[in-house]
Structure 1
Amino acid sequence: MMRRRTALLTGCTALVLALGATACGSDDPVSAGGGDGAKTLSGQTVTVAGVWTGSEQKNFQKVLDAFSAKTGAKTQFVSTGDNVSTVIGSKIEGGNAPDVVMVPQVGVLQQFAKKGWLKPLSAATQQSVGSNYAPVWKKYGSVGNTLYGLYFKAAHKSTVWYSPAALDQAGVKPPATYAEMLTAGHTVSDSGLAAFSVAGEDGWTLTDWFENIYLSQAGPEKYDALAAHQLKWTDASVVKALDTLGKLFQDKQLLAGGQKEALNTDFPGSVEKVFGPKPEAGMVYEGDFVAGVAHDQFGRTVGKDANFFPFPPVDGGKAPVVSGGDAAVVLKDGKNSKAGMQLVEYLATPEAAGVWAKAGGFLSPNKALDLAAYGDDVTRATAKSLVGAGDSVRFDMSDQAPASFGGTKGVGEWKLLQDFLRDPSDAKGTAAKLESAAAKAYQGQG
């Protein structure tokens, strides 16, 4: 799956947020475990597992290589595929547990902690998180009052990507509200392109559409309650959000190819419909990672041929900032968990984040990272938006749910929202089905 500050604001950090290009000094928690010239981990190997493949895996390897140069440790990365929970469980049972896992879902992190698989993170990492991350990132990395996960890579999932040429041709500007976005979409459609390309074949993209609308429309308190299943999916606020989404889904002017084609379009295909050689739509909603696909697969120059505007506020609410992310956790059963803990300490530094930021396709929630580390103005803007949102960031709701409800192809929320895309006429009925599936999943979890 593609997927996603500050208890203490120093004057330097404030300047970073304001200007986006000011360097800040920082302590190096890893230096005690082996700074340059002190290769205290020489001869040791740290095994890291995560979902990343392709360019993401290559760029993360650059971070691991920087850690090796600093400490002398060797590293080995193992790709798990999307089903992290099952793969890691099998490795633990087989006596072959990795030392560190990059966990892409809050629900999976909580599951690992409750099974007793994780080591609490070190005092050095806790200090870095307390100083350089918004409290919300500590919350999503903790179970109870214990910090188990360090969010290294984040995704900004409240970005609508567009072709500047398509909007210019239609004579429209990036909209300031959700209603204006739909109006602009009709104008784009009148000019010869569909408004939106929707990746309905991948159910996770539909959950992201819902979450942005819901967070803006219903507000953060209800979002948090629904994410924890303390609020039922049959609540009127859910039905209202589904109604709002359904109006977009059933509007043939707005969807490239209509509902049927949307259901046969995966995420890369949705980006291709906007930024590929034969554009069919002017806009595609998804996270900051759209830019990487537009550039790497279709040769688009980000900032010139591809740009974004923030997901606009809905019905007078606040503009949503929904995020995802990958958290580094240390397994108790790893053969070299002590060295793994030092790797996580390194990942908590702006130095480590800067390695991947320079390579591209990356956002860090670490506010101590100099925004100049990012390679282009558009990425700097998305990073600034994410960091600047502070505690108003909300983690992807489906990633907080049990995987059987919020993270599995063909079942739960993914399938039910695909069914809703196919026929958006019954928001109440869809809400009831979502509640039934959620109740079953949360009961099974606990």
Structure 2
Amino acid sequence: MRIRRHRRWMAPVVAAAAVGLALTGCTGDAAEQDAADVDCADYEQYGTFEGKSVSVAGTILDLEADRLSESWADFETCTGIEVDYQGSSEFEAQIAVLAEGGNAPDVGIVPQPGLLGRLAAGGWLIPASADVEANVDEWWSADWKQYGTYEDTFYAAPLMASIKGYVWYSPAEFEEKGYEIPKTLDELTALSEQIAADGDHKPWCVGLESGDATGWPGTDWVEDYMLRLHGADVYDQWVTHGIPFNDPQVAEAFDAVGAYLKNDDMVNGGIGDVSTQVTEAFQTAGLPILDGTCSLHHQASFYETFWNPEGGDENTVASDGSVFAFLLPPVNADDPLSVTGGGEFPVAFRDAEEVEAFRTYLSSDTWANNRVSLGGVISANKGLDPQVASSELLTQSIEILQDPETTFRFDGSDLMPGAVGADSFWKGIVAWVTGEDTAQVLDTIESSWPKG
């Protein structure tokens, strides 16, 4: 799914604000600098707007919010536009309410195409300008453009991205114990069984807790298996309800995941038994790898941020470092590369030149290189230099996204109607892990799919 730096990226914040959102702010004020120190050549195309401001809200918090604000500091200096960003763990739950009441920010960084569609259907969004669309046509694939489109109207360019389906591990442990990176799903099963048989610890560590979004990490597992077991066409049918949620192919993916998540021999290394998955926060769930009480953790590329929870750099992400990751393998070693992933979309609630100038900058290759060079994230912008990424893994991730041979599919629950993708699917994962059988869970989720 999505914290999608947002939910999935940073820990929730609980400070209350007058509009009913729990907000943690990062403003352009923190990035003020003398214009004489900034080369404004890359920003002349956006114009000057002295005294103008743009309010922005999203789910990006803490360190990632600081870096986000830094990524547009030069834009502020050169254009005169003051950008005021407010991050909230409740953004997704509250943005439609704010829009309906006329209290939405100028720009909302939306992490779900499904939520974008809901806001567009409510009549609250401003279509993207011709300049934003021109940037997307130049720097993004048609698939990514489609994720920002609703009923043939283009509303928002993509922003950042993530690749789901990484399996994090300790290179030192693999070398010491002779473990090899699996090339197929069967080899992954064999590796997991080998680690369990060695008896030092359970192989997998898993955390499904994420506040109101508890369960979403489990949806990522299912989505990865749907794509690998059944291919892109079936995946597309599933997320659009071309096949029902209780289709046998979906059940097969659930059961394949259940061989790990519902198996006390497989989870929860360094944490506890199967039941602890629903109480362990996704942000901390992979950390037992660092102390040798777990070997494998399934989480997206953005999880790189969490290996140094105190903000240091003692744990390196590299093939010869403290921790690294391989992609969840395919069924057959020679299958084409297929990955799931996510991203965000800056939608506009106010029709103003300064708002579109800001959104045009966010859709540019300049912004993508500025933000990625600050660390911790990637983008699918084709103008991004992979070498500016902050780690070997993120460079690899960018190259995967830019490779025209890669089959990419957006996070399935992000594409589904909110009643399913942001509700019954999450809740179904929790019920399933804690004891309900697959058929019962899938029937319940299927019954929640909106009629018509």
Above 0.5 in TM-score? yes
CA contact (8 A) 1:312 1:320 kept: no
Shift of 1:286: 0.7
Change (3 A) 1:240 1:93: closer
Whether 2:226 is the aligned partner of 1:209: answer no
Cα deviations across residues 289-315 of structure 1 (Å, max 9, x unaligned)?
Answer: 111101344731110111010111136
The list of structure 1 runs, each at least 4 consecutive aligned residues, that deviate by more than 4 angstroms after superposition, is: 315-319
Equivalent of residue 204 in structure 2, options 181, 184, 196: 196
CA contact (8 A) 1:274 1:280 kept: yes
Equivalent of residue 291 in structure 1, options 301, 304, 326: 304
Shift of 1:134: 1.3
Equivalent of residue 75 in structure 2, options 43, 56, 67: 67
Amino acid at match of 2:316: T
Paired position in structure 2 for 1:328: 346
Paired position in structure 1 for 2:85: 77
Matches within 5 A, 1:30-429: 31-34=44-47, 40-84=48-92, 86-191=93-198, 192-201=200-209, 202-256=214-268, 257-275=272-290, 278-297=291-310, 299-303=314-318, 304-314=321-331, 318-331=336-349, 334=350, 337-388=352-403, 392-408=407-423, 412-423=424-435, 426-429=437-440
Change (3 A) 1:322 1:350: same
Shift of 1:185: 1.5
Q: Aligned equivalents of 2:444 and 2:430: distance in 1?
A: 12
Shift of 1:69: 2.0
Shift of 1:83: 4.0
Cα deviations across residues 127-165 of structure 1 (Å, max 9, x unaligned)?
Answer: 111121111101111112221111111111121111112
Give the TM-score of the pair, scaled to structure 1.
0.85
Paired position in structure 2 for 1:3: 4
CA contact (8 A) 1:311 1:320 kept: no
CA contact (8 A) 1:167 1:188 kept: no
Shift of 1:272: 1.6
Aligned positions, number: 403
Amino acid at match of 1:194: K
Change (3 A) 1:322 1:378: same
Cα deviations across residues 395-436 of structure 1 (Å, max 9, x unaligned)?
Answer: 11111122232224xxx1111111211236x32232212211
Q: Aligned equivalents of 2:325 and 2:162: distance in 1?
A: 14
Q: Which sits farther off after the overlay, 185-194 or 198-207?
A: 185-194
Amino acid at match of 1:242: F
Kindly report the root-mean-square deviation, in angstroms, between the aligned alpha carbons of the 2 structures.
2.1
Change (3 A) 1:314 1:432: farther
Change (3 A) 1:384 1:344: same
Q: Aligned equivalents of 1:157 and 1:82: distance in 2?
A: 23
CA contact (8 A) 1:179 1:314 kept: yes
CA contact (8 A) 2:58 2:91 kept: no
Amino acid at match of 2:344: D
Secondary structure at the counterpart of residue 321 of structure 1 = strand
Q: Aligned equivalents of 2:117 and 2:300: distance in 1?
A: 24
Secondary structure at the counterpart of residue 57 of structure 2 = strand
Q: Aligned equivalents of 1:247 and 1:321: distance in 2?
A: 21
Q: Aligned equivalents of 1:167 and 1:193: distance in 2?
A: 14
CA contact (8 A) 1:217 1:315 kept: no
Shift of 1:30: 5.7
The answer for unaligned runs of 5 or more in structure 1 is 5-27, 35-39
CA contact (8 A) 2:337 2:405 kept: no
Give the TM-score of the pair, scaled to structure 2.
0.84
Cα deviations across residues 327-353 of structure 1 (Å, max 9, x unaligned)?
Answer: 01111xx3x632111111001111111
Paired position in structure 1 for 2:34: none
Paired position in structure 1 for 2:445: 434
Higher normalized helix content (fraction of residues) = 1
Amino acid at match of 1:311: L
